[in-house]
Structure 1
Amino acid sequence: MATYVLVHGAGHGGWCYRKVTRLLEAEGHTVYAPTLAGLGDRSHLVSPDVDLDTHITDVANLLFYEDLSDVVLVGHSYGGTVIQGAADRVGDRVGKLVFLDAPEGRSQVEAFPALLKERENGRVVDGVELVFFPSEDLVRFFGVTDPEDIAWMLPRLTPHPWKSLEQPLVLNNRPALEAIPQYRIVSATSLALGIHNEDLMAKARAEGRFWEIDSGHDLMISAPEAVAGLLTEIASA
């Protein structure tokens, strides 16, 4: 049985993996779905100090304090940057990295420049610059169309601290990080938009570590069975 740590993307929380978590646990796997500081059930902790390093520390500390090893570390969207940083710090605890529809770059803004438009819709609350304010349009942007899923998601989404999206990712142990097997699961929608690094996608395809799911960006919500099935396959690879 495998141990999974599922890291969410911007504006979400560990709650977004509920369907996938239940499917994996039903198979006997151990699953952790932490919520990053300032988001979801930890939204009361948002502050001007919350940045990418804060979120990397959230995940690295979980791996250490729970004494986890050979973890399948999964990052959705922005979470893909977070898991890279965590694996760079505590790579000896990570067995595999899975990028779940997660574009890569030195920062999220570099990976996905369209975020700069989202910043125009943001605002400063209690000294914190926030983006991704919840709305039905935002949920549809995430590719979720089922009315029940929309009703479930909307009250749980929280604004995201811009600072964490803008901060560049700094890696100190790149050779060790690159030695960890990496897998890529992408949504058909994001692939069609061309937001993923073509070289990384080609490398993953050549290695047999690439899958496409016919779904929108939040594929852990809209296609949980497909995601859980691939995560099980990856763990046993």
Structure 2
Amino acid sequence: MPMTYVLVHGAWHSGQSWSKVVPRLGASGSPVYTPTLTGYGETRHLLGPDTGLRTHTADVVRLLVDEDLHDVVLVGHSYAGMVISAVANEVPERIARLVYLDAMVPVHGESALDVMPEARGMLGDGWRVPPPPEPFGLFGVSDPADVAWLRSMLSDQTVRCLDEPVAMDHPALASIPRTHVHCTAESAVRRRPVPGVQPNGEPADVRELASGHDCMITVPDELAALLLDLPVPVGTAR
């Protein structure tokens, strides 16, 4: 039985950002889900000052429950490292592996601003946080067609997304294996050193992609191959 992949986009993006990766994963027979979090992309009209990490956690938990998904490889890009951590805390029994894709990696009680304090410089007087200015705001994307596509996708996020703390206190959370993927050409996230041992006692699993931050757009083949190559947890059939 193939693994199920749930790919969670980062700040300012939408589920559409995974469009190049989905057919490559799907060709293996693996179900792939790419939810758009509330307030982004096609749901940008729902964005409000109360939209935050809890909202986005609920989005993904609802998907897992409504679709009755188990043995999930839960991938979080950038800000979504916060989201997948909170999701796994709520429904650890559904998660086979957490993949932090050039992502924020929090501990219990931290906010995105704690993980990446320099993001405070992006905050203004209101509740909206627009995408960063270019060229940084292109997240390593340089192909003209891809740049135009990315620009059409980006939308604001909220301060609440950045300052809401994550809950990671479920005892079962520590047993879920983790993979950390680092984009080596350019990253939009400050990386903390990855401990040599995972919370479950396994050696750290750290992979690299020769790409800018938006690797799902710039190197979809390599990203899909990496995800398909991840170890299958004991007791899980692929």
Q: TM-score, normalised by structure 1?
A: 0.88
Q: CA deviation at 1:134?
A: 6.6
Greater percentage in helix = 1
Q: Structure 2 matches for 1:66-215, cutoff 5 A?
A: 66-105=67-106, 106-120=110-124, 124=126, 129-133=127-131, 136-140=134-138, 142-173=139-170, 175-189=171-185, 195-200=190-195, 202-203=196-197, 207=203, 209-215=205-211
SS in 1 for 2:135: helix
For structure 1, the residue ranges without an aligned partner over 5 or more in a row are none
Q: In the alignment, which of 211, 229, 232 is matched to residue 233 of structure 1?
A: 229
Inter-partner Cα distance in structure 2 for 1:86 and 1:194: 20
Q: State the 1:235 CA deviation.
A: 5.4
Q: Which amino acid aligns with 2:148?
A: A
Query: Does the CA contact (< 8 Å) of 1:134 and 1:158 recur in 2?
Result: no
Letter paired with 2:128 = L
Report the equivalent of 2:30: 29
SS of corresponding position for 2:182: strand
Equivalent in the alignment of 1:18:
19
Shift of the alpha carbon at 1:190?
A: 5.2
Per-residue CA distance 1:173-224 (angstroms, 9 max, x = gap): 0x31110011111101457x88212143x446x8261111111111111111
Cα deviation for residue 7 of structure 1 reads 0.4
RMSD (Å) for aligned C-alpha atoms: 2.0
Contact 2:97 2:176 in 1 (8 A): yes
Question: Number of matched residues?
Answer: 226
CA contact (8 A) 2:104 2:189 kept: no
SS at match of 1:164: helix
Identity of aligned residues (%): 39
Equivalent of 2:217 in 178, 197, 221: 221
Give 1:139 deviation, angstroms: 3.4
What secondary structure is seen at the aligned counterpart in 2 of 1:171?
Answer: coil
Change (3 A) 1:119 1:90: same
Equivalent pair of 1:139/1:150 in contact (CA under 8 Å): no
Q: For the Cα contact (< 8 Å) 2:49–2:128, is it kept in 1?
A: no
Q: What's 2:7 paired with?
A: 6
What CA distance in whole angstroms lies between the structure 1 residues aligned with 2:17 and 2:156? 15
Consecutive unaligned residues of structure 2, counting only runs of 5 or more, are 234-238
What letter is aligned with 1:197?
R
Local SS of the residue matching 2:169: coil
Deviations 1:24-47 (A, max 9, x none): 112211000001111111111111
TM-score normalized by the length of structure 2: 0.88
SS in 1 for 2:74: strand
User: What SS is found at the alignment partner of 2:20?
Assistant: helix
